[in-house]
Structure 1
Amino acid sequence: MRDTLRGIVELARLGNCVAAGALTATGAFVAGASGAALPTALAAVTTAFAVAAGNAINDYFDREIDAVNRPDRPIPRGAVSPRGALATATVWFAVAVAAAVALPPLAIAIAAVNLVALVTYTSIFKGTPGLGNALVAYLVGSTFLFGGAAAGNPRAVLVLAALAGLSTFTREVIKDVEDVAGDREEGLATLPIAVGERTALRIGAAALVVAVAVSPLPYRSGTLGAAYLAVVAVADAVMLYATYESFSDPAAAQRRFKYGTFLAAAAFVVGRAAVVA
């Protein structure tokens, strides 16, 4: 029983859920969510439970690939049955839907699109070269957009959503390179399998270069203060180095890249706080 409960918690990837909820709250804060505490909280809860459900669905469909790439995950090691993972995902999706219904119409629409995308990602899009990466990139970027919509000002976070999406695309390509062995055995046509690992990494690097090039825009437009520019410069440097590192060590690179993305989100928070102050 203890291993089963532990396995259910592991299905959710609590760190990812908390991070996704925090990114949604960040989007709401950047959008100027003063006096919108309840919608912000509901949006963060919606995001966290939707991500948990999506991770459980992903593990269900990826159970044979994980037996090769990640045998310590709950389903391959026998802690949770495939049917149990689906049942758990259903409950978490229900909680996400219940939290979302009190939000503004645009936020509900974004949540509905994202829930469908989460369910269909592994079963339909994951094995399509580049498309699966683009879908995950959209989902991460949309967490900020969702927070902005919950706060009633989605336009304020469009640049943030775009930057998050571009950088996430790069990290997803790096992760695909790391997982080539299991994906090839399962017959998936991911980007590195379709075009080659180095070519895929170059495509990912190009997306990041675009993100870095446009990252100063919120400061130049006056939306965010100078503190944003200082922190985002560090984030850009971390992600650029991780992308360079991915050509020799994709596993280490994708972990380092994650730190860069959190730094970038922090840059928006401190930049917004400086303007408010």
Structure 2
Amino acid sequence: MSVTSERYVRRWPDPAALLTLIKPITWFPPMWAFLCGAVSSGVAFSGHWPQLVLGIALAGPIVCGMSQAANDWCDRHVDAINEPDRPIPSGRVPGHWGLWVALAMSALSLIVGWFLGTWGFVATIVAVLCAWAYSAEPVRLKRSGWLGPGLVGLCYEGLPWFTGAAVLSATLPSTPILIIAALYAIGAHGIMTLNDFKALEGDRQMGVNSLPVRLGPERAARVACCIMAVPQAVVLVLLFAWGAPIFAVAIAIALLLQLLAMRRMLGDPKALAPWYNATGVSLYVSGMMVAAFALRGMEAL
């Protein structure tokens, strides 16, 4: 049976397509950021394993999975141009199933967040609202090349980091934790901009003003690199100032390697943006954990 005919015949979604819809490959960044937040809190994991495991599951499969389902539902017309084999435009997730999955997972997110205390629940509410604000009309912040990636960076790195620290410490995280989490969230704007390269043609046709559309691939790539690099430079300067020079040097080395990878990527950003997302981003998130351990030492004092 062809994809076209299946689109009109299928009444129930393909289970494998439902898994594809919530994109497990995207769960790692918020799960890692939540773990960074937990590490940075300075609280021993012993006695807090249930909150830690539940929080990681909430950040990744539940909230991030929900956001992916919501985005695919709201992007089904764009995806029909960019990636027609995706679950919804291909018909493997037919009718309104994509919407129902996103709504059900939104409710599940709030239920699970309730069990993570006041700060965990508040952060979950913010995450769910941001997910729908990013994708759904009439807000649809992804139309903006500045606000869209910024919101995703906040929800992928900053908000999970805050939540991990708040859940384990059962209080508002300290100012240094909030500053470092915010800096890595800002830097993630550049990562999200590079991720927009894969949808360049469809975004142009559908009026999504991503930075690659607005600035062109070359300028957008340079802007993305600056946005990624500058916050990390600020992080290493702060760690030096806060008396954690070894951790600052480790982040400096990771940043230097990223700059070398950026130099190569800028030679052909449209072709090499996916390569950078598989190499430079690994160094970026490694630096996050280094910073988390530096903060952990400070919090333990």
Q: Specify the TM-score bucket, using the shorter chain as the normaliser.
A: 0.7 to 0.9
> Which residue of 23, 31, 52 corresponds with 2:65?
52
- Percent identity of equivalent pairs: 21
Letter of the structure 2 residue corresponding to residue 180 of structure 1: L
Point out where structure 2 has 5 or more consecutive residues left out of the alignment. 1-9
Larger Rg: 2
Measure how far apart 1:270 and its partner are: 5.0
| Structure 2 residue 182 is the aligned partner of structure 1 residue 162 | yes
Match of 2:262 in 1: 243
| Structure 2 residue 142 is the aligned partner of structure 1 residue 132 | no
- For 2:281 and 2:128, the matched residues in 1 are separated by 23
Q: Give CA-to-partner distance per residue, 1:128-180, whole Å, 9 cap, x none.
A: 13111111111122110111121235225223312321221111112223421
Q: Give CA-to-partner distance per residue, 1:65-102, whole Å, 9 cap, x none.
A: 22232233222322212511111222222221111112
The DSSP-based 3-state class of the residue aligned with 1:216 is helix
Correspondence list, 1:53-68, <5 A: 53-68=66-81
User: Does the 8 A contact of 1:133 with 1:173 survive in 2?
Assistant: yes
- For 1:265 and 1:68, the matched residues in 2 are separated by 36
User: Does the 8 A contact of 1:223 with 1:272 survive in 2?
Assistant: no
- For 2:210 and 2:110, the matched residues in 1 are separated by 31
CA distance change for structure 1 residues 70 and 231 in 2, over 3 Å: closer, same or farther?
Answer: farther
Measure how far apart 1:237 and its partner are: 3.0
Match of 1:84 in 2: 97
The DSSP-based 3-state class of the residue aligned with 1:215 is helix
Letter of the structure 2 residue corresponding to residue 257 of structure 1: G
Match of 1:108 in 2: 121
Q: State the TM-score, normalizing by the size of structure 2.
A: 0.80
CA distance change for structure 1 residues 149 and 132 in 2, over 3 Å: closer, same or farther?
Answer: same
User: Does the 8 A contact of 1:46 with 1:100 survive in 2?
Assistant: yes
Measure how far apart 1:37 and its partner are: 3.1
- For 1:225 and 1:95, the matched residues in 2 are separated by 42
- For 2:172 and 2:42, the matched residues in 1 are separated by 8
| Structure 2 residue 50 is the aligned partner of structure 1 residue 38 | yes
Point out where structure 1 has 5 or more consecutive residues left out of the alignment. none
Aligned residues: 276
Match of 2:282 in 1: 259
Q: Relative to structure 2, which stretch is displaced further, 122-131 or 80-89?
A: 80-89
User: Does the 8 A contact of 1:66 with 1:76 survive in 2?
Assistant: yes
Match of 2:194 in 1: 174
Measure how far apart 1:55 and its partner are: 0.4
Q: Please give the root-mean-square deviation of Cα atoms over the aligned residues, in Å.
A: 2.7
The DSSP-based 3-state class of the residue aligned with 1:154 is coil
Q: Relative to structure 2, which stretch is displaced further, 180-189 or 73-82?
A: 73-82
Match of 2:224 in 1: 204
- For 2:80 and 2:263, the matched residues in 1 are separated by 29
Measure how far apart 1:9 and its partner are: 0.9
